[in-house]
Structure 1
Amino acid sequence: MNVTTKAEQDDQADDQRPGIQSVEIGAEILRALATFGRLVPLRSLAAKCGMPVGKVHRYLVSLTRAGLVEQDPGSGYYGVGRSSIVIGLSGLWACSPVREAARAIAQLRDATRDTTFGAIWTDTGPVVCLLEEADRPIYMNIRVGAQLSIHVSAAGRVFAAHLPEESVKKAARLQEHTLSVSGRKFTPAQLRELYGEIRANGYAAVSGLSVPGVSAVAAPLYDHKGNVSVVIGVLGRDNDLALSGESAHIKSLLDCAALASERLGYDAGVIGRATEEAKNSG
Structure 2
Amino acid sequence: MPLIPFAPIHERKAMNVETKAEQDDQVDDQRPGIQSVEIGAEILRALATFGRPAPLRSLAAKCGMPVGKVHRYLVSLTRAGLVEQDTASGYYGVGKSSIAIGLSGLWACSPVKEAARAIAQLRDATRDTTFGAIWTDMGPVVCLLEEADSPIYMNIRVGAQLSIHLSATGRVFAAHLPEESVKRAAKLQEHTLSVSGQKFTPAQLRELYGEVRSNGYAAIAGLSIPGVSAIAAPIYDHKGKVTVVIGALGRDNDLGLSGESTHIKSLLDCAALASERLGYDAGIIGRAPEEA
Contact (CA 8 Å) 1:140, 1:235: kept in 2 or not? no
Considering Cα pairs closer than 8 Å and 6+ residues apart, tell me whether 1 or 2 has the greater RCO: 2
| Distance in structure 2 (CA, Å) of the matches to 1:155 and 1:138 | 19
Matched residues, percent identical?
A: 86
Aligned counterpart, 1:269: 283
- Find the residue that maps to 2:214 and give its secondary structure: helix
Q: Deviations over 1:162-209 (max 9, x none)?
A: 000000000000000111022111011110000000000000001001
Q: Deviations over 1:75-108 (max 9, x none)?
A: xxxxxxxxxxxxxxxxxxx970000000000000
Does 2:184 correspond to 1:154?
no
| Distance in structure 2 (CA, Å) of the matches to 1:183 and 1:262 | 39
Does 2:209 correspond to 1:195?
yes
- Find the residue that maps to 2:118 and give its secondary structure: helix
Where do 5+ consecutive residues of structure 1 fail to align?
A: 1-93
1:147: how far off? 0.3
RMSD: 1.4
Match of 1:210 among 193, 200, 224: 224
Q: How many residues in Structure 1 have an aligned counterpart in Structure 2?
A: 184
Match of 2:159 among 130, 139, 145: 145
- 1:162 alignment partner AA: H
- Find the residue that maps to 2:286 and give its secondary structure: helix
Structure with max Cα Rg: 2
Aligned counterpart, 1:21: none
Q: Deviations over 1:45-66 (max 9, x none)?
A: xxxxxxxxxxxxxxxxxxxxxx
Match of 1:181 among 185, 192, 195: 195
Contact (CA 8 Å) 2:109, 2:278: kept in 1 or not? no
| Distance in structure 1 (CA, Å) of the matches to 2:152 and 2:225 | 11
Which TM-score applies when normalising by structure 2? 0.61
| Distance in structure 1 (CA, Å) of the matches to 2:123 and 2:191 | 33
Where do 5+ consecutive residues of structure 2 fail to align?
A: 1-107
1:269: how far off? 1.1
1:229: how far off? 1.3
| Distance in structure 2 (CA, Å) of the matches to 1:121 and 1:137 | 25
| Distance in structure 2 (CA, Å) of the matches to 1:199 and 1:137 | 30
- 1:159 alignment partner AA: F
Which TM-score applies when normalising by structure 1? 0.64
Aligned counterpart, 2:126: 112
1:137: how far off? 2.9
- Find the residue that maps to 2:283 and give its secondary structure: helix
Q: Deviations over 1:198-247 (max 9, x none)?
A: 00000000100111100000000000000001000000000100110000
Following TM superposition, the consecutive aligned residue runs of length 4 or more in structure 1 with deviations greater than 6 angstroms are none
Does 2:141 correspond to 1:99?
no
| Distance in structure 2 (CA, Å) of the matches to 1:259 and 1:226 | 14
1:272: how far off? 2.7
Does 2:263 correspond to 1:234?
no
- Find the residue that maps to 1:271 and give its secondary structure: coil
| Distance in structure 2 (CA, Å) of the matches to 1:183 and 1:96 | 37
- Find the residue that maps to 1:177 and give its secondary structure: coil
Select the structure that is richer in helix: 1
- Find the residue that maps to 2:148 and give its secondary structure: coil
Contact (CA 8 Å) 2:123, 2:130: kept in 1 or not? yes
| Distance in structure 1 (CA, Å) of the matches to 2:172 and 2:286 | 19
